[in-house]
Amino acid sequence: EVQLVESGGDLVQPGGSLRLSCAASGFTFSSYWMSWVRQAPGLGLEWVATIKQDGSEKYYVDSVKGRFTISRDNAKNSLYLQMNSLRAEDTAVYYCARGAGWWDIWGQGTMVTVSS
Amino acid sequence: QSALTQPASVSGSPGQSITISCTGTSSDVGAYNYVSWYQQYPGKAPKLMIYDVNQRPSGVSNRFSGSKSGNTASLTISGLQAEDEADYYCNSYSTSSTRYVFGPGTKVTVL
């Protein structure tokens, strides 16, 4: 079964850091672009970051540039999002999704809450 | 504030057809045929319904169709069913600094 499973979401104080992980299974992970998309409570979807198959290209939404880093380990079939200098407005469910531009497989999401 | 514009809500009776619009600019929707649509139930992950304006992934009902004219893309649901009641989001590639932009979402209600 094709599956993405996120983990790492937590309650963190403003200015803190968090690393999200996404474990892929059921498909050839190294053949796909991968992305993170988030959704703040009660609000819409927002694209966050995308990474090429070999990690050579990375793209970010302006609001996270310089604070978030997307990475992947193809040997471990895993995608990561390192989040630093977290702000209250980063509070959201973070989804791992397969693709770039359109996303055909989504994880169940992991909740990140930034609050003191 | 979303770069794309969608109606907040659309409703229809079972069996009817409804259309959800997604209006952007010549920098996103109008620039490329890279528009996709997602269905989302409360508390669930989004599901891809349409990609590349009018392509339907395997397993998605043919009651869902997509189109584009100029800077506006559209999702049409024909033969509306109770299970279609959900939120729908459009997305487009953009030449702006935000590479992929979503619309604010449209809540579809089946009367």
Residues of chain B in Cβ contact (below 8 Å) with chain A: 2, 34, 36, 38, 40, 45-48, 51-52, 57, 89, 91, 93, 97-105
What is the distance in angstroms between the CA of the first residue and the CA of the last residue of chain A?
Answer: 39
Which residues of chain B does A95 touch, with a Cβ-Cβ cutoff of 8 Å?
A: 45-46
Region at A15 (left for phi over 0; alpha for psi -120 to 50; beta for the rest): left
pLDDT by 10s per residue, chain A, length 116: 999 999 999 999 999 999 999 999 999 999 999 999 999 999 999 999 999 999 999 999 999 999 999 999 999 999 999 999 999 999 999 999 999 989 999 999 999 999 99
**Beta strand ranges found along A55-91 (DSSP E):** 58-60, 68-73, 78-83
Determine the residue among A22, A102, A104, A108 to mutate to test chain B binding: the one whose Cβ has the most chain B Cβ atoms within 10 Å: A102
CA A107 to chain centre: 10
How confident is the model at residue B96, as a pLDDT?
Answer: 85
DSSP A11-55: EE-TT--EEEEEEEESS-GGGS-EEEEEE-TTS-EEEEEEE-TTS
Sequence-separated (6 or more) residues with CB below 8 Å from residue B88: B6, B20, B37, B38, B39, B40, B49, B75, B105, B106, B108
Spatial separation of the C-alpha atoms in residues B81 and A68, rounded to whole Å: 41
Of A46, A100, A108, the CB nearest to B102: A46
> What DSSP element (H or E) covers A105?
strand A105-106
**CB-based contact A95 B45, cutoff 8 Å:** yes
